[in-house]
Amino acid sequence: MRIAVVPGDGIGQEVVPATLPALTMLSEAFGLGIDYDVFDWGADQWLATGVGLPSGALGHLARDYGAVFLGALGDPRIPDMAHGRDILLGLRKGLDLYVNHRPLVLRHGVVDLYRENTQGLYAGVGGSLTRFGEVTVAIDECVYTRDVVERFVRFCLGRLREQGRRKVTLVHKSNAVPNTGSLWQDVFRREMAAFPELTGSEEYVDSFCYNLVRDPTPYEGILASNLFGDIISDIGAALMGGLGLASSASVCPESGFALFEPVHGSAPDLVGKGTANPYAAAMSLALMFDHFGHGAAAGLLRDCLTEAADSEAATPDLGGKGSTRDFMDQVTALLERELVRRRIRPSTTGEL
């Protein structure tokens, strides 16, 4: 299987390359046959050529690759993020990766946040009017079509049931944004009828955020529209211990194609320091292993990342002294140790 690796901008170019040795090691140890090509889509290419996502890229990816592994996009030289929308939203929407899973890994367990990834305020419907070069009218429409909400809700409820979850919360804002809000509520209630194992609740996004921060333990599954899911995932990252820890998978269930990326951005404040935390990027690889049915590789990677995050090699955001490289060196050393200890690979040193 081939993976398209897109480091992107800023710390994406630091954390993604740092995780690749672990990817290769696990692919070899478990015989997964994963291979990758690196694509230099991002700010430099946009500024040099005006090209974000090259024409034909979506077809090329769908034909020759199984997934994209992306770092982050965002560059201070492109303040309106035009290239980021072209590339990142281009991939999410163009490959119809409509389910964005952003697990909140918390002390008490995992809260599965599912974000609709193609429509809503990200539908790209809008425009502006200008007078003497100054914007006087600005419109971004929130668009949701019933079929898109239905397929998302149905898939997520199925996933939650498969995972033995019992509770699911729809996050909405139907009191102030009634049209899309009540469409979501209507779809959620109808789809829930087919899932008697699940207990549903509905919360306004403002009070939901308040409740989540005060006590996340009652939540198991969360369904949110595109923008609400984006915001909740950063709040969730704060609860997890920082953006350096939060990973995500964007999936098209029908084609199986998926994009794996950390939740964080290009962190211009950290660029060049060599201390960006690669944990979130590496955890996104664990989500990738899971997605392709390689649960053992995913579990091993998660175990080693967790152990490394508790060690001196942890990066400063976690209170450690390690660099991006130190941290991943520690992870690969732990992988070596565990591959032998778990008898997945014979010892190369003769030690048991």
99-106 vs 247-251, strand pairing mode: antiparallel
Does the protein bind ligand NAD through residue 331 (CB under 6 A)? no
CB of 76 to ligand NAD, least distance (A): 7
Q: To 5 degrees, how large is the angle CA 221–CA 237–CA 247?
A: 75
Q: Binding-site residue total for ligand NAD (CB under 6 A)? A: 22
Query: How far apart are the C-alpha atoms of 305 and 332, rounded to whole Å?
Result: 9
Q: Which residue in 42, 74, 221, 322 binds ligand NAD (CB under 6 A)?
A: 74
Q: What is the spatial distance between Cα 221 and Cα 112, in angstroms, rounded to a whole number?
A: 5
53-72 positions binding ligand NAD, by CB under 6 A: 72
**In the complex, minimum distance from the CB of residue 85 to Mn ion, in angstroms, rounded to a whole number:** 13
**What's the closest the beta carbon of residue 265 comes to Mn ion, in angstroms?**
7
Which x/- pattern over 76-95 shows residues binding ligand IPM (rule: CB under 6 A)? --------x---x-------
Residue 63 CB, nearest approach to Mn ion (Å) = 29
The residue with its CB nearest to ligand IPM is: 230
What separation in angstroms does the CA of 38 have from each of 4, 5, 69, 260? 6, 5, 9, 14
Identify what 267 binds: ligand IPM, Mn ion, ligand NAD, none; CB under 5 to 8 Å per kind. ligand NAD
CA distance 240 to 222: 16
In the complex with ligand IPM, the residue whose CB is nearer, 83 or 291, is: 83
Pairwise CA distance, residues 302 & 281, whole Å: 12
Asked if residues 144 and 183 have their Cβ atoms less than 8 Å apart, the reply is yes
List residues binding ligand IPM (CB under 6 A). Answer: 84, 88, 230, 263, 265
